[in-house]
Structure 1
Amino acid sequence: MAEEEVQEEKKKGGKGLIITLIVIVILLLVGIGVMAYLLLSQQGGDHANGDSTEMHASAEHGDEPAGHAKTYSPNYKQYDPPPPEAPPGYFVMDKFVVNFNGDGQAKYLAVDLQFMTYYPQLIADMEHFRPILKNDIQRLLRNQHYNELIKPDGPDQLRAQLLEVARKVLENNKIYPELLEDVYMTRFVMQ
């Protein structure tokens, strides 16, 4: 008789454990379902409210923006993101002709520049900084040396320096410098 009581208690303990586990699993599934519903309804609510800045400010969510749009700090002036298929725009500088250190080989350096960006509003804003850009670029060009520019990578190094100067001007004026993609020299003459 004692053996029968022990076996009945083992069966009751086993049934109680199974029931407890089933209840815990059901509660977990309900909790996960509620959390998923809340997350999905919150994301859908952002789109329903017309939140159009999500693509531009999506770096916080780990997504990359489409096309040429960049994400950057709100400390900089904010621009509307360009459409993914937008062609680049160019800010054309006046022609530069400067005296430079030609080391007896040349006296003048002539350069035409075009700065590329995908943000048309940036091109309009750069117009306000034209005098600053012109001053800083002329100073850079006057400090060039013929022996450096004649090297195979000399013009490429000058392009990198020109882009750095322009980006610094933008950053000093609270414009995100990386919006300026590149600079192209459409004329480069040492004479």
Structure 2
Amino acid sequence: MAEEVQEEKKSGGGKGLIIALLVVVILLIVGIGVMTFLLLSSGGSDNNANSSETEQHASAEHGDEATAHDDGVVRDYSPKFKQYDPPEPGSAPQYFAMEPFVVNFKGEGQAKFLAVNMKFMSHYPQLIADMENYRPILRNDITSLLRIQTYTDLNQDNGPDVLREKVLAKARKVLEKHNIYPDLLEDVYFERFVMQ
């Protein structure tokens, strides 16, 4: 009788282990499926995508359609943003120069000061003129961004380029907050970049 009870316990314990393993395997399969779906639906655009796909992605971020012509300049965009006269095809870009930035930054014992001169670029002269109204906000936000940079990050081969992207994103957020279509601000260039 004691032997039968032990046999039942052994076989019952094996069934419980098999069920537990099956549940774990099913949960893993479901988890992998969900991760795959999220990765494929959120990321997925190639670096080699053409400019029209890039413009469609940019307009999707802002919730409305924007169209760019062959030269890559946005000429039509959502009416919920301030409207500017479209630039003439082939017109030269305009530049908005900021006063030089000199800030203390996280030099990590290597450098203590970061000096940067920059100019923003757009094909819209009216936007360049309007940016003067937002100069104090831009200066404040960019100064805050520069102060949190680290020597290690900036000293990389692509460090200044990564910083340019961050500055451009920061400036676009300021414009968008003030009802200006952010992608009209096309780029930012560093004229001087010194760490001391």
Per the alignment, residue 86 of structure 1 pairs with 91
Instruction: Tell me the amino acid that sits aligned with residue 179 of structure 1.
Output: L
Deviation (angstroms), 1:70: 2.4
Per the alignment, residue 140 of structure 2 pairs with 135
Per the alignment, residue 172 of structure 1 pairs with 177
Q: 1:21-46: CA deviations, max 9, x gaps?
A: xxxxxxxxxxxxxxxxxxxxxxxxxx
TM-score (norm 1): 0.66
Residues 1:157 and 1:66: Cα distance change in structure 2 (over 3 Å): closer
Identity of aligned residues (%): 59
Aligned equivalents of 2:97 and 2:189: distance in 1?
10
Structure 2 unpaired stretches of 5+: 1-63
Per the alignment, residue 76 of structure 2 pairs with 71
Residue 159 of structure 1, aligned match among 141, 150, 164: 164
Secondary structure of 1:164's aligned partner: helix
Whether the 8 Å contact between 1:65 and 1:71 is mirrored in structure 2 is: no
Instruction: Tell me the amino acid that sits aligned with residue 129 of structure 2.
Output: A
Aligned equivalents of 1:136 and 1:168: distance in 2?
10
Q: How many residues align?
A: 132
Whether the 8 Å contact between 1:69 and 1:84 is mirrored in structure 2 is: no
Q: How does 1:28-47 map to 2 (within 5 A)?
A: none
Instruction: Tell me the amino acid that sits aligned with residue 195 of structure 2.
Output: M
Q: Which has the larger radius of gyration?
A: 1
Secondary structure of 1:70's aligned partner: strand
Whether the 8 Å contact between 1:72 and 1:176 is mirrored in structure 2 is: yes
Deviation (angstroms), 1:71: 1.8
Whether the 8 Å contact between 2:117 and 2:191 is mirrored in structure 1 is: yes
CA RMSD of aligned residues (A): 1.8
Q: Which runs of 4+ in 1 moved over 3 A?
A: 62-67
Deviation (angstroms), 1:79: 0.3
Aligned equivalents of 1:70 and 1:91: distance in 2?
19
